[in-house]
Amino acid sequence: MTDYAQEQEMEIEALEAILMDEFKEIHSSESGLNTSNRCFQITITPQDDDEESTYSSVRLALIFSHTEKYPDEPPLLNVSSLKGIQSADLKILKEKLEQEAVENLGMAMVYTLVTSAKDWLSERFAEETGAEDAEDDEAKKEEVIIPHGEPVTIETFLAWRERFEAELALERAKLMPDSALNAPKEKKLTGRQWFESGRASGKAAAAIAEESDEDEDDIDFDDDDFEDDEEDMLEHYLAEKTDSSSHS
């Protein structure tokens, strides 16, 4: 004859040793079960291999009580939410555990039910988290960047270029040596010529003075140089417009 009481006591001792703080005895009036027998509560969170759980927002209590002929008949079971689980999910989980209890008759099954509940929570809330992440990714893809600021037209570019050339000529004049400024008109370098020659050599000022004294020919430039300057100025203008728009 099977000693059900002894088997039940041995299972309780094993659960206490394995689950430790997650396992505790509660009063039958707190269990939600229709029994006056001893009742126990096991706190369950989703199965997670990481020490820092990503499912801290959900937690449930699995409550059970041994029946007279357990494990040859299923235990009384109840589940309740400790954090973040809807009643519809609890109903689904309870039905699942009751079905598994029937399938495991004849052996101690509570720890098996605990493991099953952990796995179910992991799958249920991992799917929910994955769906939320997918929605966030889709929302980011649908974000449209609306440009701000004044549109670029030929008129606004030409007006800006005129101001820019005037400012650039003034800066060049400040950098030119007196010998270049006072040179005879027919030999005097333009601001562009002096600026270009200054970039080509670190001794621009000395070179200009020698060219003025020795009456050398003016510096010639290819048409491609001027086309490049036009492109550089357009890029500079567009960059300024972008900066001013971002600060407004």
Q: Are 194 and 208 in contact (CB under 8 A)?
A: yes
Give residue 130's pLDDT. 46
Using one digit for the tens of pLDDT, what is the confidence trace for 166-206?
A: 888 777 766 666 655 565 555 555 656 655 665 544 544 45
Give residue 138's pLDDT. 63
Q: Residue 240: is its pLDDT beyond 80?
A: no
SS3 for the chain is CCCHHHHHHHHHHHHHHHHHHHEEEECHHHHCCCCCCCEEEEEECCCCCCCCCCCCCCEEEEEEECCCCCCCCCCEEEEEEEECCCHHHHHHHHHHHHHHHHHCCCCCCHHHHHHHHHHHHHHHHHHHHHHHHHHHHHHHHHCCCCCCCCCCCHHHHHHHHHHHHHHHHHHHHHHCCHHHHCCCCCCCCCHHHHHHHHHHCCCHHHHHHHHHHCCCCCCCCCHHHHHHHHHHHHHHHHHHHHHHHHHC
The better pLDDT of the pair 235, 168 is held by 168
Q: For residue 124, what are its two tokens?
A: 């249920």
Mean pLDDT confidence for 104-132:
84
Select the highest-mean-pLDDT range: 133-137, 219-223, 237-241: 237-241
Q: What is the largest CA-CA distance in the chain?
A: 128
Give residue 229's pLDDT. 60
Q: For residue 40, what are its two tokens?
A: 């126990």
pTM: 0.51
The least confident of 13-27, 103-117, 153-167, 192-206 is 192-206
- The CB density around residue 22, as the number of other CB atoms within 10 Å, is 16
- Model confidence at 51, pLDDT cuts 50, 70, 90, reads very low
Residue 13 CA from chain centroid, whole number: 46
Distance, CA of 168 to CA of 171 (rounded, Å): 5
Q: Are 48 and 59 in contact (CB under 8 A)?
A: no
Q: For residue 141, what are its two tokens?
A: 């893809």
Q: Residue 63's closest CA among 83, 84, 80?
A: 80
Matching residue, tokens 């990714």: 137
The better pLDDT of the pair 79, 48 is held by 79
Q: Residue 99: is its pLDDT beyond 90?
A: yes
Q: Residue 36: is its pLDDT beyond 80?
A: yes
Which CATH superfamily includes the segment(s) 4-49+56-125?
Ubiquitin Conjugating Enzyme (3.10.110.10)
Mean pLDDT confidence for 144-151:
61
- The CB density around residue 246, as the number of other CB atoms within 10 Å, is 9
Mean pLDDT confidence for 220-240:
60
